[in-house]
C-alpha cells in the first residue's frame, strides 16, 4: 500500500459541534449529573467522553429525576416528549440541530394546512421518530423507491419532507417516483438533506476514482456515516464502516494501492488522526488531504442554555 487520501470535508458538522458543546457547557453550569435523552449524537466515542464528564444518557425523560436538567439530542424530539419534560418540571435544553428543527416546522405547517405528508426517511431513527411526532396522523413514512412506487395516499393535498442524513442520490430517486405518481405533490423550496451530509457524500464521490478502498470512521447507528459507505460501493469501490482504527482489518488492504479515509458528521477528528497513525505505523509514508474544502457554518447555542448562563453570570 502506498498512500492514504483524506476526504474533505469530513467529521463534525455545525449541528454536532453545537450539541456536544451544549452538554459540556450544561455540565459546567449545573454540575454533575446532566441528563441527556438518547445519544446526543450517534457516536460511541463522544458518548463515552461525555459520560466521563458526568453526563447520564437515558432512554426516556421519565428516567430523569424531577427538576433535573435534561438535554434533547441533536436528532430532535416529538411534541409529546417536550410536553412530558415540561410536566415533570425538567430543565430542558434543546440541542436539536437547527436543520432538523426546520423539517419539524415544515411538518407542522403542512399538517395545519391539511396536507398528507410523505416523510422520506429510515424507520426507527430518532430524527424520524421526532419529526413524525409532529403530525403522526397525517404522516406516511417512505424508505425506498420501491415503497414510493406502491404507497397508497389519500385524496387531497400532498407534500414530502425528508430526513436530513439520507443518501442524496436515493432521495432524488424517491422524489422523482413520487412526482411521477403525484404530479401536484409539494416539497420544500430547499432540500432537507443537510449541507454536511451532502458535502461529505460529494467528497467521497470526488475521491472514488483515485482509491481502491474507502474507510469511513463512524458508529454503526450513524445514518450519515452508513450513507458514505453506500456512496463508495455504488461507485464500485470496496468500503467499510469502522468505529475507530482498532476495527481496521489488515486483510482489507491486500492488493490495495490507495485508501480513502473519511468520517461521518458525528465522528471526532482525533479518530481520523489515530487512523492516520495506524497507517503510518505500517509503513505508509504518504497521508494527504484530497482537495481541501472548508465549511464555515456555525449555529448558536440553544436559547435555554444561553439564558441560564446569563442568569448565572
- So which residues are the catalytic ones? 127
At CA 131, angle to CA 126 and CA 136, rounded to 5?
A: 115
Q: How far apart are CA 93 and CA 308, in angstroms?
A: 10
C-alpha cell at 23: 452538554
**Angle in degrees, 0-180, between the axes of helices 195-207 and 223-234, rounded to the nearest 10:** 30
Sign of CA dihedral 187, 188, 194, 198: positive
166: left (phi over 0), alpha (psi -120 to 50) or beta: beta
Residues paired with 261 in a beta bridge? 6, 215
3-state secondary structure of 121: coil
Q: By the 8 A CB rule, do 38 and 16 touch?
A: no
Look at residue 27 and give its three-state secondary structure: helix
Q: Are 266 and 46 in contact, with CB atoms under 8 Å apart?
A: yes
Looking at residue 186, the DSSP 8-state letter turns out to be: B
For residues 140 and 276, give the distance between their C-alpha atoms in angstroms, rounded to a whole number. Answer: 43
Torsion angle of the four alpha carbons 7, 12, 15, 18, in this order, in degrees rounded to the nearest 10:
-150
Contact 157, 150 (CB under 8 A): no
* Rounded distance between C-alpha atoms, residue 72 and residue 66, angstroms: 16
In the chain, beta strands by DSSP E: 3-6, 34-37, 55-58, 69-72, 91-94, 116-120, 139-142, 158-162, 213-217, 238-242, 258-263, 286-289
Amino acid at each position: 500500500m502506498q498512500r492514504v487520501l483524506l476526504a474533505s470535508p469530513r467529521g463534525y458538522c455545525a449541528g454536532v459541534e453545537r450539541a456536544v458543546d451544549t452538554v459540556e457547557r450544561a455540565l459546567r453550569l449545573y454540575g454533575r449529573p446532566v441528563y441527556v435523552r438518547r445519544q446526543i449524537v450517534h457516536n460511541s466515542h463522544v458518548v463515552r467522553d461525555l459520560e466521563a464528564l458526568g453526563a447520564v444518557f437515558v432512554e426516556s425523560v421519565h428516567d430523569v429525576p424531577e427538576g433535573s436538567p435534561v438535554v434533547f439530542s441533536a436528532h430532535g424530539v416529538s411534541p409529546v416528549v417536550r410536553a412530558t419534560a415540561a410536566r415533570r418540571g425538567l430543565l430542558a435544553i434543546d440541542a436539536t440541530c437547527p436543520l432538523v428543527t426546520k423539517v419539524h416546522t415544515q411538518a407542522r405547517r403542512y399538517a395545519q394546512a391539511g396536507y398528507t405528508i410523505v416523510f422520506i426517511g429510515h424507520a426507527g431513527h430518532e430524527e424520524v421518530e421526532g419529526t413524525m411526532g409532529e403530525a403522526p396522523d397525517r404522516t406516511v413514512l417512505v424508505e425506498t423507491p420501491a415503497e414510493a412506487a406502491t404507497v397508497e395516499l389519500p385524496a387531497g393535498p400532498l407534500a414530502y419532507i425528508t430526513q436530513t442524513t439520507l443518501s442524496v442520490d436515493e432521495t432524488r430517486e424517491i422524489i422523482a417516483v413520487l412526482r411521477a405518481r403525484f404530479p401536484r405533490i409539494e416539497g420544500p423550496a430547499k432540500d432537507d438533506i443537510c449541507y454536511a451530509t451532502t458535502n461529505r457524500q460529494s467528497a467521497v464521490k470526488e475521491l472514488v476514482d483515485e482509491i481502491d478502498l474507502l474507510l469511513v470512521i463512524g458508529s454503526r447507528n450513524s445514518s450519515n456515516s452508513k450513507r458514505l459507505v453506500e456512496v463508495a460501493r455504488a461507485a464500485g469501490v470496496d468500503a467499510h464502516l469502522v468505529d475507530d482504527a482498532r476495527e481496521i482489518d489488515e486483510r482489507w488492504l491486500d492488493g490495495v494501492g490507495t485508501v480513502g479515509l473519511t468520517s461521518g458528521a458525528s465522528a471526532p477528528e482525533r479518530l481520523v488522526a489515530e487512523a492516520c497513525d495506524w497507517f503510518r505505523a505500517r509503513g505508509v509514508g504518504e497521508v494527504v488531504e484530497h482537495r481541501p474544502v472548508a465549511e464555515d457554518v456555525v449555529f448558536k447555542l440553544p436559547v435555554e442554555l444561553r439564558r441560564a448562563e446569563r442568569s448565572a453570570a
